[in-house]
């Protein structure tokens, strides 16, 4: 490596603002917080300082060099094997002792270590003061204080990193061992374990002593975090508060999505007309014009118009809850339920990730150390609805159960969706219990869940991050699938075999099973063809209902209701469709992710069958009870 180019490793415990420091150093807007599935791989960025080039590697959060999870193993391997010019450890000023143990451990194996005491603004709010010069003297290391959210201290941090990289490596100070020599008859392995444990205890004690020496805590007039936790994590109010917040998020999503959906639909209608006119000017055959404009472009426009607005609203709201520190409280509230089912408490975190994308939720199961409990979490993650299912659920709830419109109807639709999602969580717990007492029998393990402090969300960064990292990524995947799916359904609807199209033959063949489930053949075929992406189910069903074999031009929910009612839909059909949308096979991306994570086709097939069996049983039961009620 040439002179003037340096490699920096950024390490630290979870929830210390390490990713914010990384973004401030490199100028990137990349969120790599220690949530499920986000930091399994390291992130890299570069910056220049005084004409010199620095490459920064943002490592997954870890508490010590004794790796317990896949994320910690990634960090430990990098710290032990990569040739870093310096290691920057980011610490939380509000909880210094837990980071100092990692600092003392790294000081013994890394020649250049710098401590970045972050979240000084949070510490100030809690009346906590850190004596940084005294801390640097006690550790024998350079120490920089930062409040990375506002950019405070970042310039000084870059200066200290440059100064440290240009220094000759110092010999790490030796920490005397308090462990006596092995007695006669003791095994070498047992002696080494005793020495390791004694040394770790010594470092922990030293970290606590240093933290106590340099930290001054002034009396707090009110502990707002404690007061909020008494409400949001209590046995009586914790889960009801969680459900009310979920209902509020859904209500805002439903209320806010209507206007942009109509606007996008109108825009795509104009684009389709212009595209058709362009093809006509080129003298394109009618079949080609219809296939491209009415098949591919119209289905693509429907997916974007219906899917984008709810995602663009739901994802930022969900990220705001994450950024504020509330999502760990959700995991805390659900931890007891999962442990009672024989599963791991961290499954609550992966379940929350599943609301965004089931494939991400499955990847996030890596944070669960036990292979048995990790597999339970993967197999049941698709029981919670991902973002691709929310547009269908929202539309059907608004059209068939609360068609009047207005705030009251939208609130009613939000509470209906909340009830359905609560049912999906309950079914996820039920199948976790079933798996842990049958195929995946074993004892549940425990873990320590750290609740980070409540923080004021950074609204601008949250919106940007959720749009780039989640909304556009998922939308891009759906668009790539929607175009060929639109072509396929158009071909099926326009190629005839005998007296009917291929689409009509397929729907007739599936119709008896569909009727048994409270659906019909068209809906069932739409679910099968929507395997690549859940967002396509309703557009494909609408295309199947069209005699002309192309997707309907729908400008309002009233027009959509007219099309569905004309094809025999009732509130019972809508309810069974919503239930099957909640409980059916995962999308192709999630199935492939389960195959990759489990290393077994058998478990991928199990993940396909489990929610489908649940959905078939629930739809059959609902259809029979509904028909009895109607008669």
Taking 3-state DSSP, the helix, strand and coil percentages for the chain, each rounded to the nearest 5, stand at: 65, 10, 30
Q: At what angle do helices 472-494 and 537-545 cross, to 10 degrees?
A: 20
Q: What pLDDT is recorded for position 188?
A: 53
- pLDDT on residue 190: 56
pLDDT tens sequence across 23-51:
889 886 454 443 333 434 567 888 998 88
Distance CA 116, CA 157 (A): 8
Structural contact between residues 581 and 560, judged by C-beta atoms closer than 8 angstroms:
no
List the beta strands (DSSP E) in 20-93.
43-49, 52-58, 86-92
Amino acid 579: pLDDT = 95
**Maximum CA extent, the chain:** 95
pLDDT band of residue 557 (cuts 50, 70, 90) is low
Full domain range(s) for residue 154: 5-217
* Chain segment 67-111, per-residue pLDDT in tens: 666 677 778 888 877 788 999 999 999 888 888 999 998 888 888
Asked whether residue 40 is domain-assigned, the answer is yes
The answer to whether residues 245 and 204 belong to one domain is no
Note the pLDDT of residue 183: 47
- 199 and 244 together in one domain: no
- List, for residues 349-377, the tens digit of each pLDDT value: 788 778 777 887 888 787 777 888 889 99
Residues 204 and 330 in one domain: no
Last residue of a domain, one of 184, 217, 250: 217
Specify if 186 maps to a domain. Answer: yes
Co-location of 242 and 391 in the same domain: yes
**Contact at 8 Å (CB) between 576 and 622?**
yes
pLDDT per residue over 277-288, tens digit each?
998 898 888 888
Flag whether 85 is in a domain: yes
Q: Are residues 501 and 564 in the same domain?
A: yes
The stretch 208-236 carries a mean pLDDT of: 79
Check pLDDT > 90 for residue 417. Answer: no
Has residue 390 been placed in a domain? yes
Residue 519 has pLDDT above 80, yes or no: yes
- Based on the fold, state whether residues 372 and 428 are members of the same structural domain: yes
Percent of the chain past pLDDT 90, that is, above it, reads 24
Residues 399 and 430 in one domain: yes
Q: Report the share of the chain in percent with pLDDT over 70.
A: 81
Q: Which long-range contacts (CB under 8 A, 24 or more apart) does 65-68 make?
A: 65/102, 65/105, 65/106, 65/109, 66/200, 68/369
User: Do 275 and 201 share a domain, yes or no?
Assistant: no
Does residue 246 lie within any of the structural domains? yes
* CA–CA gap between residue 335 and residue 328 (Å, rounded): 10
- 369 with 513, same domain: the answer is yes
> Do 198 and 280 fall within a single domain?
no
Is the residue at 454 inside a domain?
A: no
Residue 147, beta-bridge partner list: 152
* Helix spans in 60-153 (H): 70-81, 96-107, 120-125, 132-139
| Coil vs helix vs strand at 147 | strand
Q: State how far the Cα of 307 lies from the Cα of 294, in Å rounded to an integer.
A: 19
Judged against a pLDDT cut of 80, whether residue 453 lies above it is answered with: no
212 with 271, same domain? no
pLDDT in tens, 468-478: 666 666 666 66
Same domain, 202 and 303: no
| pLDDT for residue 547 is more than 60 | no
For residue 421, give the DSSP letter.
Answer: H
The answer to whether residue 580 sits within a structural domain is yes
The residue among 158, 182, 217 that closes a domain is: 217
Dist. CA 471–CA 467, nearest whole Å = 5
Residue where one domain finishes, among candidates 187, 217, 247: 217
Is 456 part of any domain? no
What's CA 89's distance to the chain center, in Å?
26
**Is residue 331 within 8 Å of residue 322, measured between CB atoms?**
no
The CA-atom distances, in angstroms, between 222 and each of 130, 219, 228, 284, 554 are: 21, 9, 11, 73, 55
Helix (H, G, I), strand (E, B) or coil at 144: strand
Handedness of CA 209, 215, 221, 223 (dihedral sign): negative
152 secondary structure, DSSP code: B
Element (H, E) at 215: strand 215-217
| Domain tally, the chain | 2
* 84, 110 Cβ separation under 8 angstroms: yes
The two tokens of residue 61 are 């959060």
Give the span between the Cα atoms of 554 and 168, in whole angstroms.
70
């Amino acid at each position: 490596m040439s002179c003037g180019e340096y490699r920096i490793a950024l390490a630290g415990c979870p929830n210390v603002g390490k990713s914010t420091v990384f973004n401030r150093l490199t100028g990137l807007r990349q969120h790599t917080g220690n949530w499920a599935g986000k930091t399994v791989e390291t992130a890299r960025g570069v910056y220049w300082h005084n004409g010199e080039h620095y490459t920064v590697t943002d490592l997954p959060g870890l508490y010590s060099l004794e790796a317990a999870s896949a994320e910690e193993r990634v960090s430990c391997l990098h710290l032990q094997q990569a040739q870093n010019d310096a290691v920057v450890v980011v610490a939380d000023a509000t909880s210094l002792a837990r980071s100092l143990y990692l600092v003392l451990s790294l000081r013994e194996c890394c020649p250049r270590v710098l401590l970045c005491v972050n979240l000084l603004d949070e510490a100030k709010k809690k009346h906590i003061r850190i004596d940084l010069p005294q801390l640097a003297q006690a550790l024998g290391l350079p120490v920089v204080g930062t409040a990375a959210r506002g950019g405070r201290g970042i310039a000084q941090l870059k200066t200290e990193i440059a100064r440290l990289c240009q220094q000759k490596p110092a010999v790490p100070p030796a920490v005397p061992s308090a462990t006596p020599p092995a007695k006669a008859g003791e095994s070498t392995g047992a002696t080494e374990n005793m020495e390791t444990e004694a040394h770790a205890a010594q470092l922990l004690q030293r970290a606590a002593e240093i933290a106590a020496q340099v930290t001054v805590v002034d009396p707090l007039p009110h502990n707002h975090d404690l007061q909020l936790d008494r409400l949001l994590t209590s046995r009586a109010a914790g889960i009801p508060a969680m459900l009310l917040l979920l209902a509020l998020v859904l209500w805002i999503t439903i209320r806010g999505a209507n206007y942009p959906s109509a606007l996008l639909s109108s825009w795509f209608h104009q684009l389709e007309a212009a595209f058709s006119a362009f093809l006509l000017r080129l003298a394109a055959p009618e079949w080609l014009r219809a296939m491209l404009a009415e098949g591919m472009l119209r289905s693509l426009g429907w997916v974007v118009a219906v899917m984008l607005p709810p995602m663009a609203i739901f994802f930022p709201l969900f990220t705001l809850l994450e950024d504020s520190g509330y999502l760990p409280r959700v995991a805390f509230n659900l931890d007891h339920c999962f442990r009672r089912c024989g599963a791991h408490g961290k499954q609550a975190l992966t379940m929350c990730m599943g609301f965004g994308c089931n494939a991400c939720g499955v990847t996030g199961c890596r944070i669960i150390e036990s292979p048995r409990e990790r597999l339970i979490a993967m197999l049941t993650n698709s029981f919670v609805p991902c973002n691709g299912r929310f547009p269908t659920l929202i539309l059907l709830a608004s059209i068939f159960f609360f068609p009047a419109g207005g705030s009251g109807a939208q609130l009613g639709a939000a509470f209906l969706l909340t009830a359905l999602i609560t049912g999906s969580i309950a079914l996820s717990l039920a199948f976790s219990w079933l798996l842990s007492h049958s195929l995946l029998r074993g004892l549940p393990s425990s873990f320590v869940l750290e609740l980070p402090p409540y923080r004021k969300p950074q609204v601008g960064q949250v919106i940007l991050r959720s749009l780039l990292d989640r909304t556009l990524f998922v939308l891009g995947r759906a668009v790539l699938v929607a175009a060929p799916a639109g072509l396929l359904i158009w071909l099926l609807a326009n190629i005839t075999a005998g007296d009917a199209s291929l689409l009509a033959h397929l729907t007739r063949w599936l119709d008896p099973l569909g009727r048994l489930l409270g659906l019909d053949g068209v809906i069932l075929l739409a679910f099968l063809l929507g395997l690549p992406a859940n967002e396509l189910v309703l557009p494909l069903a609408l295309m199947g209902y069209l005699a002309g074999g192309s997707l309907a031009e729908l400008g309002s929910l009233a027009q959509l209701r007219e099309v569905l009612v004309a094809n025999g839909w009732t509130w019972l059909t809508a309810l069974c469709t919503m239930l099957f949308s909640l409980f059916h096979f995962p999308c192709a991306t999630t199935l492939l992710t389960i195959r990759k994570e489990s290393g077994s086709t058998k478990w991928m097939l199990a993940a396909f069958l489990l929610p489908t069996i649940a959905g078939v049983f629930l739809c059959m039961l609902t259809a029979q009870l509904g028909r009895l009620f109607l008669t």
